[in-house]
């Protein structure tokens, strides 16, 4: 019986004639590298074509992780530092990933013709079912930033049965008010498009510091060959409708949600307000110190750790997968009662900016985490 099993294994991956085991390993490594580069697809939808890149292979009884980027970025510039982070590999080896590029935002995208009617954020959300149907995926865990967080939230409200969880960074669930519109118009008179988008993405402290990191993204946006397309996406974001989410109503996110925002980020107040409107038994609120406006770019390690615990709470990451990461950091957790009536059921967990682990377990209440 043992000999039979050995023959079966040898037949499963036979060596080519004259191929050494070392050469076979090199070929397997090359195949893995090719797989890691992702497979890019485009699909037609009622609102135009949308491009997305798939990494990995579908896992039985596991949702796909589907990402959606913010204005001024594409999936690579928005998510690559996070998903290439070392500890993130423990996650992505267990999930297939789908990185969506908003129309006209993918690398090499042609500029839309003059007068092109760019989809609204609601219509961008309505493109997602076409992607899932094309890939034959039934459920997702959404991971969105800014405009992408809004789009995934709108999709989850319209298709709650297909969304198992959401990670929403810098979400603003509200439409722009009159004061916002006035400020936006005045800013447009004195600032370039790229500067307005940078002000949306990063904190004033980051922009004033003008670090090498900020200079990199300023250069990416200001010299983007598809800047006209970016402006269309920017306009759609500024014309978004109110999500009208209300705690306890039928119009609310019904899946586990992790809200993330950096301290002093442009969208801090909006995320705090969104937190107050969601079910506290399903929501985690992560406020990250020293992370600026884009935590997935500046603090990929801390966000990876939080994401792992979020998935663990959903039952997708075994506790044993967390031990190495937990041992590598020293916890500094302090529980405190909330003094806000809207947060009477919440628990505050404080962490130092350099160390700490997040609490694990299934979502049982809103958690405000400063790390």
The CA-atom distances, in angstroms, between 81 and each of 59, 84, 146, 197, 297 are 24, 5, 17, 20, 6
pLDDT of residue 120: 98
HSE value, Cβ hemisphere, 13 Å, CA-based, for 59 = 15
Greatest alpha-carbon pair distance for the chain in Å reads 79
Pick from 97, 85, 106: nearest CA to 38: 97
| R_g of the chain computed on alpha carbons | 22
Going residue by residue through the chain (371 aa), what tens digit of pLDDT does each one get? Answer: 444 444 333 334 444 556 666 666 555 544 444 445 689 999 999 999 999 999 999 988 899 999 999 999 999 999 999 999 999 999 999 999 999 999 999 999 999 999 999 999 999 999 999 999 999 999 999 999 999 999 999 999 999 999 999 999 999 999 976 555 555 555 655 579 999 999 999 999 999 999 999 999 999 999 999 999 999 999 999 999 999 999 989 999 999 999 999 988 999 999 999 999 999 999 999 999 889 999 999 999 999 999 999 999 999 977 544 444 443 343 333 333 333 444 333 333 333 333 334 444 444 444 455 55
pLDDT of residue 290: 87
The model carries a pTM of 0.80
Which class for 249: exposed (0-12), middle (13-18), buried (19 or more C-beta within 10 A)?
exposed
Q: How far is CA 62 from the centre of its chain?
A: 18
Q: In what order do the strands lie in the sheet with 257-262?
A: 39-45, 48-55, 97-101, 64-68, 140-145, 163-169, 257-262, 283-288, 367-370, 347-350, 335-337
The CA-CA-CA angle for residues 132, 47, 134, to 5°, reads 20
pLDDT of residue 168: 98
- Residue 361: Cβ within 10 Å count: 9
Quote the DSSP letter at residue 173.
-
Mention every residue, 6+ apart, whose C-beta is less than 8 A from residue 336: 347, 348, 350
Quote the DSSP letter at residue 270.
H
pLDDT of residue 140: 98
């Amino acid at each position: 019986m043992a000999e039979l099993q050995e023959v079966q294994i040898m037949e499963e991956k036979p060596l080519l004639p004259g191929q050494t085991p070392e050469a076979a390993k090199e070929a397997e490594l090359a195949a893995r590298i090719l797989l890691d580069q992702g497979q890019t697809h485009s699909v037609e939808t009622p609102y135009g074509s949308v491009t997305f890149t798939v990494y990995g292979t579908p896992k039985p009884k596991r949702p796909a992780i589907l990402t959606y980027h913010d204005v001024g970025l594409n999936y690579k510039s928005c998510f690559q530092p996070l998903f290439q982070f070392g500890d993130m590999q423990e996650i992505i080896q267990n999930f297939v990933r789908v990185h969506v590029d908003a129309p006209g935002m993918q690398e090499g995208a042609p500029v839309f013709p003059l007068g092109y009617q760019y989809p609204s954020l609601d219509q961008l959300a309505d493109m997602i079912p076409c992607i899932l149907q094309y890939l034959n995926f039934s459920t997702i865990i959404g991971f969105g930033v800014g405009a992408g967080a809004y789009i995934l939230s709108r999709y989850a409200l319209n298709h709650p049965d297909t969304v198992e969880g959401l990670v929403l960074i810098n979400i603003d669930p509200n439409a722009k008010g009159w004061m916002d519109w006035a400020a936006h118009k005045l800013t447009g008179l004195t600032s370039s498009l790229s500067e307005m988008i940078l002000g949306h993405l990063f904190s004033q402290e980051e922009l004033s510091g003008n670090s090498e990191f900020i200079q990199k993204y300023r250069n990416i946006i200001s010299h983007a060959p598809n800047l006209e397309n970016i402006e269309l996406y920017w306009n759609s974001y500024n014309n978004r409708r109110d999500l009208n989410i209300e705690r306890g109503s039928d119009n609310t996110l019904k899946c586990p949600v992790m809200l993330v925002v950096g301290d002093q980020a442009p969208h801090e107040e909006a995320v705090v307000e969104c937190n107050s409107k969601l079910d506290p038994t399903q929501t985690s609120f992560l406020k990250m110190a020293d992370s600026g406006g884009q935590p997935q770019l500046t603090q990929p390690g801390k966000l990876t750790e939080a994401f792992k615990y979020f998935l663990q709470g959903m039952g997708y990451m075994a506790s044993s997968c967390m031990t190495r990461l937990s041992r590598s950091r020293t916890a500094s957790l302090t529980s405190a009662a909330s003094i806000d009536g809207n947060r009477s059921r919440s628990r505050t967990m404080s962490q130092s900016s350099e160390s700490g682990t997040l609490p694990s377990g299934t979502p049982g209440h809103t958690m405000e985490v400063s790390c």
